[in-house]
């Protein structure tokens, strides 16, 4: 599990770096994916999509970023899933499960929930691509909630697993991280 996690995590870092590099290389100012992922309201997102869809270099950057994000998320969420399951396996092997059963359960829950977050991220990108090709946004029903949940699930899974590894290293003479 350790090797698989590091391969996936490295892939996610490489993709994140490549996505950032593309923005810098094209020297497009004021590009922030969070503007698209978590707009204040439908009107703000509609205006943003309209403006970006009318400018070919910006539209190409955004569609390229969304395409690369599919690859990025295909590394990131499985990496967090593997990290949670790896932490759970280490935790279960070294701790009293009766006393810490909830932590083991939370690791399993947040590990599995990465598949939900991955699905939310996929749906988010698909909706953004559709809106960009249409040149506008009709409805953002549950869009912001989906984006918020994907972030919460991903961050909670990562922090919980990392916290378990820190806990295990503090309560063991020979950390097996």
pLDDT digits (tens, 9 = 90+) for 130-158: 999 998 998 999 999 999 999 999 999 99
Instruction: Classify residue 79 as exposed, middle or buried by CB count within 10 Å of its CB (0-12, 13-18, 19+).
Output: buried
pTM over 0.75: yes
DSSP 57: H
Please state, in angstroms and rounded to a whole number, the distance separating the CA atoms of residues 16 and 153: 19
pLDDT at 111 over 90: yes
Task: Measure Cα distances from 135 to 49, 53, 55, 57 in Å.
Answer: 6, 6, 11, 15
Closest CA to 26 of 50, 53, 58, 67: 58
Residue 173: CB partners within 8 Å, gap ≥ 6? Answer: none
Q: Decide: 1 and 82 in contact? Cβ < 8 Å.
A: yes
pLDDT in tens, 57-109: 888 999 999 999 999 999 999 999 999 999 999 999 988 778 889 999 999 99
């Amino acid at each position: 599990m350790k090797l698989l996690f590091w391969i996936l995590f490295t892939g996610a870092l490489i993709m994140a770096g490549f996505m950032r590099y593309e923005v810098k290389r094209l020297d497009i100012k004021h590009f922030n994916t969070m503007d698209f992922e978590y707009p204040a309201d439908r009107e703000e997102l509609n205006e943003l999509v309209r403006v970006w869809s009318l400018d070919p270099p910006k539209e190409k950057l955004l569609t390229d970023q969304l395409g690369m994000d599919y690859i990025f998320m295909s590394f990131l969420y499985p990496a967090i899933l593997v990290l949670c399951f790896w932490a759970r396996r280490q935790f279960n092997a070294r701790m009293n499960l009766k006393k810490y059963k909830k932590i083991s359960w939370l690791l399993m829950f947040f590990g599995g929930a990465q598949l939900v977050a991955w699905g939310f991220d996929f749906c988010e990108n698909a909706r953004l691509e559709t809106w960009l090709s249409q040149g506008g946004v009709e409805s953002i029903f549950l869009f912001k909630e989906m984006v918020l949940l994907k972030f919460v699930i991903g961050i909670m899974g990562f922090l919980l697993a990392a916290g378990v590894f820190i806990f295990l290293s503090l309560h063991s003479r020979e950390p097996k991280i």
